[in-house]
Chain A
Amino acid sequence: MSLFDIAFYFFALITVASAALVVFSRNIIYSAFALLFTFFGVAGLYALLGADFVAVAQLLIYVGGILVLLLFGVMLTTKLVSVDMKTGTLQALPATLLFAAVAGALSGVYIITDWNVLAGAPDAATTAVTIGDMFLTTWLLPFEIASVVLLVALVGAAMIARRDARSKPTQQAAL
């Protein structure tokens, strides 16, 4: 087992274990903190695959930005911290069967398939320059459309979260 493999399994373990904690924890604070390790593990996997720019972006944006906001949001919403979330299981048997079928099929696929592996990883010192070039040439359109998607999401979030001045007082109390 090479050093690469050890590092891979290390990060994979962190990612999967903390992701399980996010889902199974009954306390939303624990879930939010466990998410930190999930993001971190994924960043490690990116770095291992030679995607240094994506790894750094993952750390800066997800770990540094989004997660901190999420924690603030959770902690400032007093009701959420104390409340026990509903984590019951419904339809256990069909869910297990579906899970087994999907997991079996997908693992089978990964074993039997002869993947189209690109010859040799890019050995550039950093991928940031290439990514920057590509965003403004080949991938210009997706890059621009992604910004429209984000703008729409922002407008929508503002619209849904805004408290309507004319809405009924009973609903204001409920909020």
Chain B
Amino acid sequence: MLQHIIDSSHLFRPETALTATFCVVLLVDLFLRKRTSMPAYVAVLGLVVTGWFIAAQYGGAPATLFSNMLAVDPFSIFFKSLTLASTLVIVLFSLQSNELRDSKRMMGEYYALLVSLTLGMFLMAGATNLIMMYLSIELTSMSSYILSAFTKEADDSSEASLKYVIFGAVSSGLMLYGMSILYGLTGSLDIYGINRALIAGNVNNVTLLISVVLMTAGFGYKISAVPFHFWTPDVYEGAPLPVTAFLSVASKAAGFAMMMRFFKVTFIDAAVGGSYLGSWISVPGFEWNHLLAILAVLSMTIGNLIAVWQTNLKRLLAYSSIAHAGYLLLGVVVLSNEGYAAVLIYLAVYFFMNLGAFFAVMMVANKIGSEHIDDYKGLGYRSPLLGVCFTILLLSLTGIPPTAGFVGKLYLFSALLNAKWIWLAVVAALNSVISLYYYLRILRNMFLTQPDPAGAPIRFGAVQIVILLMFVIPTILLGVYFGPLVQYAQASITMFTNR
């Protein structure tokens, strides 16, 4: 046992580095109060060290750590890399944000909590035990509650955080209930053990369904899928913009990572199927993917339809992120390696386009102090560069070629069609058309309405423009040259199996 723990701790280095960073950032803030940017630099240093440890894990054989608590495999390494990249970007965002600069006094805690949030997401990506899944969700949620209340002087920030806490408590309670039923049915907390018990049969399918519905409440809350989405618009609107951007990308990705691993390992009879295009067979008598198909249709449709009426850009992006959760769920529904690879491709693409869109909104909010769509009138003339960049990002979110968003949608749709889910593909395509309407509304305001009489040209700092281009250039590049990304995603769907 001791040897196992020592071996495990070698593969646990990225998480250990994050935990250490969390503590060091707090201490640095305590002893070097005067230097307010110091915690950010320490956090970046810790994240880089973490990245180095993750890079060392590439190419290793899949393994589980600490008695099947956590898996280290290409799948979890993919999500860890994605989360880490988002955290680094968000630290950059935060250094540029006027909103946060006004509450300089607490920046130490801010960066420490960003790091603990990252740790929670790392654990979510690898958790293979119900207890570990619950704890990692709690770590992630707890950090996000506090971060969204960070500018607590603003009324909507406290309100957002309170709503977040209440919805979070309810859904994690439901999830725990579902887990306890699943444990009662199978006598195992380890998802590999649950899988063995389910394949052996003798499990009441009605009870299993109820337990999975309850657990889906927890997953649905993390990825903000309808009907567990009610917190999303308020939290996105109230939280500081860098935090919103982080939640919309990394939190969603981590939720998907945990959900995909849980569903694939637990409910797939892996003895059947296998090759890249081959589909999987779920455990006898339990077609859970129909449940997720309903969730996907609801998320896409409701997210897009409500987004049409939004006038605040943060709320609009919140509903658009709900709709994107719906698209992403399509890849889980199809029960194939192809579908899972499509989800990974879409998430990687979503990383660039959504973070870029949020950064553009933040740049504008820094200058004109508003996120209202009417204040974007004539923005394309006041700052042509920002206008063009924002246009590219919005077109990519819609899924129009030659942007990266198109590639993401292409792979999702082809996975759907290959699995003969025609009606679902039609619904998704119709939804893309709806989304075109509200993304184009922003473009119309930026370019087709005359600039305000008082609208002087807006100039942005060179650093901000470079950061914005860091998102825009990959968005175009991945739209025309996506071979390496696709190969990387296809190689990353390998999960640790225990048979």
| Binding partners A and B | yes
B187/A167 in contact, CB under 8 A = no
Contact of A106 with B by CB under 8 A? yes
A145/B139 in contact, CB under 8 A = yes
Q: Which A residues touch B210, using CB under 8 A?
A: 105-106, 109
CB-CB nearest in chain A for B204:
A113
Contact of A121 with B by CB under 8 A? no
Question: B interface, by DSSP: helix, strand, loop or mixed?
Answer: helix
A115/B184 in contact, CB under 8 A = yes
* Assembled-state Cα–Cα distance A141/B139 (Å): 13
Q: Which of B180-236 contact A (CB under 8 A)?
A: 181, 184-187, 197, 202, 204, 206-207, 210
B105/A141 in contact, CB under 8 A = no
Question: How many cross-chain pairs have Cβ atoms below 8 Å apart between A and B?
Answer: 93
Q: Which A residues touch B269, using CB under 8 A?
A: none
Q: Which B residues touch A64, using CB under 8 A?
A: none
CB-CB nearest in chain A for B112:
A155
* Assembled-state Cα–Cα distance A153/B138 (Å): 10
Known contacts A159-B109, A164-B105; A112/B204 CB under 8 A? yes
A164/B153 in contact, CB under 8 A = yes
Contact of A171 with B by CB under 8 A? yes
Known contacts A113-B207, A142-B131, A168-B153; A148/B185 CB under 8 A? no
B146/A160 in contact, CB under 8 A = yes
Q: Which B residues touch A168, using CB under 8 A?
A: 153
Contact of B69 with A by CB under 8 A? yes
Most buried by B among A108, A159, A164: A159
A149/B142 in contact, CB under 8 A = yes
Shortest distance between the CB of B108 and any CB in chain A (Å): 10
Q: Which B residues touch A5, using CB under 8 A?
A: none
Contact of B351 with A by CB under 8 A? no
CB-CB nearest in chain B for A118:
B187
B residues whose Cβ falls under 8 Å from a Cβ of A: 1, 5, 8, 19, 22, 26, 65-67, 69-70, 103, 105-106, 109, 112-113, 116, 119, 123, 129, 131-132, 135-136, 138-139, 142-143, 145-146, 149, 152-153, 181, 184-187, 197, 202, 204, 206-207, 210
20 contacts between A and B (CB under 8 A): A112-B206, A112-B207, A113-B184, A139-B131, A140-B66, A141-B8, A142-B131, A142-B135, A145-B136, A148-B116, A148-B139, A152-B116, A156-B142, A156-B143, A156-B145, A159-B106, A159-B109, A159-B146, A164-B103, A168-B153
Q: Which 6 A-B pairs have the closest CB atoms?
A: A156-B146, A116-B187, A141-B66, A113-B207, A141-B69, A138-B67
